[in-house]
């Protein structure tokens, strides 16, 4: 059997679940967007009014796309295309790194390269694999658009745009795998490029010039720097112009050529950037169990902190917009108001909703810190720490403390961002106060999650990672969206987020928060007691 | 003499798998104790119980006369440990990992002494402390763990197959450092399946198999149980006289050479007889632990042992 086919088959087999999830998930998202257009924005006048609103707050375009008209297809593209391209980019860079640097780093590549397959054929197989994956993704997206009843030509262009963007990022991922010594480094770099490309084209959209009727926009020059910008230039359902995709495909071809040049010239396992030498002595922080927990989580907490600050700024800068929506799109306003109670103004409702998301982010940051403890335990690096005079409960306590800090940092910095953003509003004082209250109200709910996951860590260490995330997803879903979807009241009440105080109106009822705090403290205490009695559970 | 480690009828089950099946182990103060057994015999499980990382399902374990599960943290002030399969933090350098573990152990109060000691060990083991954990080879990860363990003084060193990734030169360095630590009065529990290492270093040895002790004692005591191998050139007509020799076993003629084994305490009786026969090309191999080991496990080599690795 042909060696390339063997290598390709092996790659497909390894990825069969993961890629299927990426492709089906991305297509499902496209389908949800087109369905939402039909359900929520079925009326052309309503779509037009929303598009015109973006002139008032171009920042909203960062999270959407270039407006290309008010038809259903154009509007769906505006809502979701940039995000689909972002997902294609992430799928493709992870795929590229996984099958090149990832294998090299783990030493698996050596096994294959020692066979007659040699050093470059595996990379060629990865390239074919990546091209096929993106082709499938493009077809799935095009089908998702087409089955919603949108025109076939526009759907095909949208699919092609997503696939071509994925291809460009795939090639960038391959280059990153040549440059960095570790898959962690290569993935980090690639993800930064993908997110950067998303933001750069968002900037281009926001700086672009609107047409006179306010329904379309011409993106500014930054969009030309981003493969996602190129995808939007195809203007699916409007211009249906495939020419910009030549840029994506051309860049991909060029980079793949470069990758083969590197690959055939370098040693197996080597990289263009050498692994940097670190310090020979530990810094002063790295001398206790909590110091280690901090060190291992610091990078992630920094990332959460940046995200939370941006989120906070958006919460208050975008709030003036909602009063406009309130008069133009009553359905959306009604939805927002359900989060924040009947007495709330649109602005209050909007800010409160935003901070519910902050609460979920804070819980996620805390969860991730606790899960690091599980990774330490499973990978065997907890063992030397516990073989030193560190009691089990103190070891876990270190992670609990760092997780609390993580949650506090997310809530705190989102509040700081909100205060900065509030300065642009008509009444900075009132908006600031509202944002600060909304932020503080979220912390207890996040801490309940921290406590619950700590208990889970003690009772079911092998399951803590999947179960922990599932718990958060369910809680967020029931607590935040449950009322809108009409789930039973008791299910809604199970979620900590359902008990977060709603800080609007004169008399804020904080008892829910106090209760949550008490429950969180109880759970943390229970986990400490439990950890005294639990032995170390290493593998799997 | 004080007992540092003692286990009595120690038992550990993982579901249906029996990892330890009534293990007795005694390590006295100041000795280097070899802990021998094939893979899956329960060595690592024993060590994890001694470190309070796992709880026995039966029997009793004592470290410095105390319960290692309940008083783990306090006991660990006196213990340094080197795991068999060293995992390092991928984004911490070797130097950072060494400092971290030393500080956790509280051994850096006298900073100067610690730094000197660490520098000497890094030099002896030729370890570059500035590389990230993920960049080290297996042998170098092992060195990081060894330097971390030896850089602070401890009363007891627990070493789980510590030389498994080291080259022969580094094994020499390791032997020297362990001898030095023992010279300072420390006790060492050295788990291994490399017999030559145990023969060079250890005062006493415990051999375990399938979670039980099969042999324990000083090396001379154990050698007593072993046999020397004797071989010489075959000459026609010797068979009857050879067969009459007392205390010999496994007599065989192969490829023109006669070979047999003889109980170590009978060798002095057998040699004059061989002289009388005028044998040529005589070789006598001294008893080794290897042989004892094979005697205990040799018959078990084909079926896989019942014990499980942790």
DSSP per-residue codes, A339-407: HH-TT--HHHHHHHHHHHHHHHHHHHHHHHHHHHHHHHHHHTSHHHHHTSS--HHHHHHHHHHHHHHHH
- Distance, in Å, from the CA atom of A176 to the CA atom of A196, rounded to the nearest integer, reads 15
C-alpha distance from B226 to closest chain A C-alpha (Å): 37
Q: How far apart are CA B42 and CA B59, in angstroms?
A: 15
Rounded average pLDDT over A236-263: 95
| A522 pLDDT higher than 90 | yes
State the Cα–Cα distance between residues A451 and A472, nearest whole angstrom: 12
Rg of chain A over Cα atoms, rounded to whole angstroms, equals 25
Of residues A181, A292, A383, nearest to B53 (C-beta)? A383
Domain containing A80 equals 3-265
Same domain? A360 vs A261: no
Quote the mean pLDDT of chain A.
87
Select from B71, B73, B111 the residue whose CB has the most chain A CBs within 10 Å, as the one to mutate to test that interface: B73
Residue A282 in contact with partner chain B when CB distance is under 8 A:
yes
Which residue among A184, A292, A381 places its CB closest to the CB of B87? Answer: A381
The CA distance from A103 to A96, in Å, is 11
φ and ψ at A216, to 5 degrees?
Answer: -130, 160
Pick the closest to residue A68 from A59, A80, A57 (CA basis): A80
Cβ count near A319 (within 10 Å): 27
Handedness of CA A398, A401, A405, A406 (dihedral sign): positive
Q: How confident is the model at residue A42 (pLDDT cuts 50, 70, 90)?
A: confident
Beta carbons of A433 and A347 less than 8 angstroms apart: no
pLDDT at B301: 43
Please report the pLDDT score of residue A353 as a whole number. 77
Least confident of A40-49, A368-377, A409-418, A521-530: A40-49
With 90 as the cut, is the pLDDT of residue A128 above it? yes
SS3 for A68?
Answer: strand
Is the Cβ pair B77, A280 closer than 8 Å? Answer: no
Residue A342 lies in a domain: yes
User: Which of A135-144, A412-421, B61-70, B227-236 has the weakest average pLDDT?
Assistant: B227-236
Tell me: do A311 and A181 sit in the same domain. Answer: no
Same domain (yes/no): A247, A339: no
Does residue A274 lie in a domain region? no
Q: Which of A181-195, A275-289, A493-507, B60-74 has the lowest mean pLDDT?
A: A493-507
Among B107, B108, A301, smallest CA distance to A293 is for: A301
The yes-or-no verdict on residue A53 having pLDDT over 50 is yes
Interface of B with A in 11-50 (CB under 8 A): 48
A476 and A358 belong to one structural domain = yes
Residues A419 and A471 in one domain: yes
Q: If contacts are CB pairs under 8 Å, which of residues 375-404 in chain A contact chain B?
A: 379-381, 383-392, 394
What pLDDT does residue A249 have? 97
Side-by-side strand order, sheet with B58-63: B17-28, B3-14, B58-63
Contact between B303 and B217 (Cβ < 8 Å): no
User: Does the beta-carbon distance from B104 to A288 stay under 8 Å?
Assistant: yes
pLDDT, tens digit (0-9, with 9 covering 90-100), for B220-238:
787 766 677 888 888 877 7
Residue A539 lies in a domain: no
Give the one of B72, B98, B100 whose C-beta lies nearest to A292's C-beta: B100
Contact A179, A103 (CB under 8 A): no
Give the chain B residue nearest A283 (alpha carbons).
B96
Bridge-based pairing of strands B156-160 and B79-82 is parallel
Percent helix / strand / coil, chain A, rounded to 5: 75, 0, 20
C-alpha span between B151 and B129 (Å, rounded): 13
Residue A527 has a pLDDT of 94
Number of domains chain A is built from:
2
Which of the four pLDDT bands, split at 50, 70 and 90, describes residue A427? confident
| Residue A489, phi-psi category: left (phi > 0), alpha (psi -120 to 50), beta (remainder) | alpha
Instruction: Identify whether A141 is part of a domain.
Output: yes
Q: Are residues A309 and A214 located together in one domain of the fold? A: no
* Domain match, A213 and A315 both: no
A474, HSE (Cβ side, Cα atoms, 13 Å)? 11
> What are the tokens at A370?
């606790």
For the segment A351-378, the average pLDDT, to the nearest whole number, is: 90
Residue A520 to residues A52, A357, A443: CA-CA distances in angstroms?
Answer: 46, 19, 10
Q: How far is CA A39 from CA A43, A82, A92, in A?
A: 9, 21, 32
Mean pLDDT in residue range A8-36: 91
A384/B93 touch (CB, cutoff 8 Å), yes or no? no
What integer pLDDT is reported at residue B181 of this predicted model? 94
Task: Tell me, yes or no, whether A37 and A96 share the same domain.
Answer: yes
Specify the pairing of strand B212-218 against strand B187-192: unpaired
Average pLDDT, integer, range A467-480: 84
Q: Which CATH architecture has domain B3-78+154-222?
A: 3-Layer(aba) Sandwich (3.40)
Across the interface, of B54, B74, B135, the residue whose CB is closest to A389 is B74
Rounded CA-CA distance A239/A49 in Å is 22
* Boundary residue ending a domain (A249, A265, A281): A265
Please say whether the beta carbons of A123 and A263 come within 8 A: yes
Give the model's pLDDT for residue A330: 59
Report d(CA A377, CA A535) in Å as an integer.
11
What pLDDT score does A79 carry? 87
pLDDT of residue B115: 93
In a domain, A282, yes or no: no
- Tally helices (H) and strands (E) across chain A: 21, 2
d(CA B36, CA B95): 31
Helix (H, G, I), strand (E, B) or coil at A209: strand
Asked if the model's pLDDT at residue A332 lies above 80, the reply is no
Do A329 and A443 belong to one domain? Answer: yes
Q: Among B55, B76, B95, whose Cβ lies nearest the Cβ of A282?
A: B95
Whether B131 sits inside 8 A of A277 (CB atoms) is yes
Q: Mean pLDDT over residues A29-42, rounded?
A: 83
Secondary structure of chain B as H, E, C letters: CCEEEEEEEEEEEECCEEEEEEEEEEEECCCEEEEECCCCCCHHHHHHHHCCCCCCCEEEEEECCECCCCCHHHHHCCEEEECCCCCCCCCCEHHHHHHHHHHHCCCCCCHHHHHHHHHHHHHHHCCCCCCEHHHCCHHHHHHHHHHHHHCCCCCEEEEECCCCCCCHHHHHHHHHHHHHHHHCCCEEEEEECCHHHHHHHCCEEEEEECCEEEEEEEHHHHHHCCEEEEEEECCCCCHHHHHCCCCEEEEEEECCEEEEEEEHHHHHHHHHHHHHHCCCCCEEECCCHHHHHHHHHHHHCCCCCCCCCC
Q: Is B77 at the interface with chain A, CB within 8 A?
A: yes
Chain A interface test: which of B20, B53, B91 (most A C-beta within 10 Å) = B53
A443 shares its domain with A520: yes
β-strand partners of A292: none
A58/A131 same-domain check: yes
Q: Where are the alpha helices (DSSP H) in A208-288?
A: 227-233, 245-265
Residue B285, Cα to own-chain centre: how many angstroms? 23
Residue A230 belongs to a domain: yes
DSSP state of A59: G
Question: What ipTM score was computed for the predicted complex, to two decimals?
Answer: 0.71
Q: Enumerate the residues of chain B whose CB falls inside 8 A of the CB of residue A181.
A: 135
- Which residue's structure tokens are 């329904």? A215
pLDDT of residue A35: 85
List all residues 6 or more positions away from A306 whose beta carbon is below 8 Å from its beta carbon. Answer: none
Comparison of pLDDT for A58 and A79, the residue scoring more: A79
pLDDT band at A85 (very low <50, low <70, confident <90, very high): very high
How many A/B residue pairs have CB atoms within 8 Å? Answer: 109
Residue-level pLDDT, tens digit, chain B, 310 residues: 689 999 999 999 988 889 999 999 999 999 999 998 888 889 999 999 999 888 899 999 999 999 999 888 889 889 999 988 888 888 889 999 999 888 888 877 788 999 999 999 999 999 999 998 888 999 999 999 999 999 999 999 999 999 888 998 999 999 999 999 999 999 999 998 877 778 889 999 998 988 999 889 888 787 766 677 888 888 877 777 777 777 788 888 888 888 888 877 778 888 888 888 888 888 887 766 666 667 666 654 433 334 334 3
- Which residues in chain B are contacts of A288 at CB distance < 8 A? 103-104
What does the alpha-carbon distance between residue A167 and residue A131 come to, in Å, rounded to a whole number?
7
Task: For B185-213, give one letter per residue: b (16+ CB within 10 A) or e.
Answer: ebbbbbbbbebebbbebbebbbbbbbbbb
Whether residues A214 and A326 fall in one domain: no
Specify the pLDDT at position B273: 84
Model confidence at A97: pLDDT above 90: yes
Ramachandran angles phi, psi of A118, nearest 5°: 75, -165
What residue has token string 């065997």?
A: A380
CATH class of B227-286: alpha beta
State mean pLDDT over A34-43: 81
Q: pLDDT tens digits, residue range A308-328?
A: 898 888 778 776 665 665 555
Q: Report the pLDDT value the prediction gives residue A186, as an integer from 0 to 100.
A: 92
Average pLDDT over residues A65-73: 89
């Amino acid at each position: 059997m042909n060696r390339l086919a063997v290598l390709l088959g092996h790659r497909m087999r390894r990825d069969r679940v993961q890629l299927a999830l990426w492709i089906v998930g991305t297509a499902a998202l496209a389908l949800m967007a087109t369905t939402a257009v039909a359900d929520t924005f079925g009326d052309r006048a309503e779509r037009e009014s929303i598009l015109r609103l973006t002139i008032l707050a171009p920042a909203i375009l960062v999270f959407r796309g270039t407006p290309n008209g008010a038809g259903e297809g154009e509007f769906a593209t505006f809502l979701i295309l940039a995000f689909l391209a972002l997902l294609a980019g992430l799928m493709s860079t992870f795929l590229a790194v996984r099958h090149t640097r990832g294998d090299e780093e783990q030493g698996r590549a050596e096994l294959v390269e020692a066979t007659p397959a040699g050093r470059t054929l595996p990379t060629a197989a990865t390239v074919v694999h990546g091209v096929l994956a993106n082709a499938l993704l493009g077809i799935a997206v095009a089908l998702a658009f087409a089955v919603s009843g949108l025109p076939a030509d526009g759907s095909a262009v949208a699919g092609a745009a997503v696939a071509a963007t994925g291809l460009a990022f795939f090639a960038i991922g391959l280059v990153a795998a040549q440059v960095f010594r570790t898959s962690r480094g290569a993935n980090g770099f690639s993800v930064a490029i993908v997110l950067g490309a998303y933001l750069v084209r968002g900037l281009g959209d926001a700086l672009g010039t609107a047409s006179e009727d306010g329904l379309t926009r011409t993106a500014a020059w930054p969009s030309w720097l981003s493969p996602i910008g190129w995808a939007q230039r195809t203007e699916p359902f409007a211009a249906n112009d495939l020419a910009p995709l030549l840029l994506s495909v051309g860049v991909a071809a060029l980079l793949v050529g470069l990758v083969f040049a590197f690959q055939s010239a370098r040693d197996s396992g080597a990289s263009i950037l050498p692994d940097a030498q670190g310090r020979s002595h530990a810094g002063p922080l790295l001398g206790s169990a909590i110091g280690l927990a901090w060190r291992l989580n610091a990078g992630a907490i920094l990332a959460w902190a940046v995200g939370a600050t941006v989120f906070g700024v958006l919460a208050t800068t975008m709030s003036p917009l909602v009063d406009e929506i309130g008069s133009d799109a009553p359905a959306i306003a009604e939805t927002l108001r359900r989060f924040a109670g009947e007495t709330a103004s649109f602005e209050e409702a909007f800010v409160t909703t935003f901070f519910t998301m902050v609460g979920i982010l804070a819980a996620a940051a805390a969860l991730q810190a606790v899960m690091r403890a599980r990774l330490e335990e499973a990978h065997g690096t907890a063992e030397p720490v516990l073989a030193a005079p560190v009691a089990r409960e103190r070891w876990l306590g270190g992670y609990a403390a760092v997780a609390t800090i993580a949650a506090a940092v997310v809530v705190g910095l989102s509040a700081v961002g909100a205060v900065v953003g509030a300065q642009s509003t008509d009444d900075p004082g009132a908006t600031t106060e509202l944002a600060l209250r909304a932020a503080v109200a979220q912390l207890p709910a996040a801490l309940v999650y921290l406590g619950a996951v700590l208990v889970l860590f003690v009772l079911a260490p092998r399951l803590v990672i999947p179960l922990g995330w599932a718990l958060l997803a369910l809680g967020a879903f029931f607590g935040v969206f449950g009322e809108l979807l009409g789930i039973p009241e008791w299910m809604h009440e199970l979620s900590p987020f359902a008990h977060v105080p709603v800080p609007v109106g004169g008399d804020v009822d904080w008892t829910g928060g106090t209760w949550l705090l008490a429950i969180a403290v109880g759970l943390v205490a229970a986990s400490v007691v439990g950890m005294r009695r639990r032995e170390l559970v290493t593998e799997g | 003499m004080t007992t540092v480690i003692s286990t009595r009828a120690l038992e550990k089950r993982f579901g249906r798998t029996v990892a330890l099946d009534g293990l007795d182990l005694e390590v006295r103060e100041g000795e280097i104790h070899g802990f021998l057994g094939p893979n899956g015999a329960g060595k690592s499980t024993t060590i994890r119980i001694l470190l309070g990382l796992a709880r026995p399902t039966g029997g009793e374990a004592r470290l410095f006369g105390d319960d290692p599960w309940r008083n783990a943290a306090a006991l660990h002030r006196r213990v340094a440990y080197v795991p068999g399969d060293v995992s390092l933090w991928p984004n911490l350098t070797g130097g950072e990992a060494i400092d971290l573990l030393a500080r956790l152990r509280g051994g850096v109060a006298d900073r100067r002494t610690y730094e000197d000691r660490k520098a000497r060990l890094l030099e002896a083991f030729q370890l570059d402390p500035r590389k990230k954990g993920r960049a080290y080879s297996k042998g170098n990860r092992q060195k990081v763990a060894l330097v971390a363990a030896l850089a602070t003084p401890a009363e007891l060193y627990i070493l789980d197959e510590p030389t498994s990734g080291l080259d022969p030169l580094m094994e020499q360095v390791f032997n020297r450092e362990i001898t030095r630590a023992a010279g300072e009065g420390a006790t060492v529990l050295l788990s291994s399946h490399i017999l030559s290492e145990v023969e060079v270093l250890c005062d006493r040895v415990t051999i375990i198999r399938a979670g039980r002790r099969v042999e324990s004692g000083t090396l001379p005591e154990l050698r007593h149980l072993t046999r020397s191998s004797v071989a010489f050139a075959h000459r026609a007509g010797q068979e009857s006289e050879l067969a009459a020799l007392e205390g010999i076993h496994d007599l065989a003629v192969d490829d023109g050479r006669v070979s047999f084994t003889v109980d170590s305490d009978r060798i002095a009786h057998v040699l004059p007889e061989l002289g009388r026969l005028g044998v040529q090309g005589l070789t006598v191999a001294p008893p080794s632990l290897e042989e004892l080991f094979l005697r205990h496990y040799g018959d078990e080599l084909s079926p896989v042992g019942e014990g499980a690795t942790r």
